[in-house]
Amino acid sequence: MNLEKLPSQLIGNIGLFYVCYELSRKGWNCLPTTRNAKGVDIIIYDLNGEKKFTIQVKALSRRNPVPFGSKLEIMADFVIVCVEVFTDKPEVYILTPDDVKKNIHKGVKDGKTSYWLQPQGYLKFREAWEKIGKGY
């Protein structure tokens, strides 16, 4: 099976549900939102319903730059980059919006702007679950 040819929606689903799995193991209740809707991908809350956060998941089949589109709009409390989603243990990187903004690459080609988070911009945030904390 050629993993590079699989639909991006499948890659996104794998990343989304893997992140939900990991967050659930850390005590969070996870509510995935409607896929491909603008906004956050997951809403989490602790077991007491006192702490609530929103998550944006960026899933990739391999360690590549993460696209953020033509406008750098981050609506979530955390951005979780999930790469190597077809392996037994995907790599997970947890960033705040400030982490993303400090490490983002802005490209301009033919008058069009695009934003990318290069691997060196997210690798230092590997398994940084302490940013979110525990849900119990």
Domains of the chain by residue range? 3-131
Q: How far is CA 44 from CA 74, 131, 135, in A?
A: 17, 14, 9
3 pLDDT above the threshold of 70:
no
Among the residue ranges 3-12, 14-23, 47-56, 122-131, the one predicted with the least confidence is: 3-12
pTM above 0.85, yes or no: yes
Tell me: the pLDDT tens digits for 70-95?
A: 999 899 999 999 999 999 999 999 99
Residue 2 pLDDT? 61
pLDDT tier for residue 135 given thresholds of 50, 70 and 90? very high
Alpha-carbon span 66 to 81, nearest angstrom: 8
Give the mean pLDDT of 54-69.
96
Range 3-131: architecture per CATH? 3-Layer(aba) Sandwich (3.40)
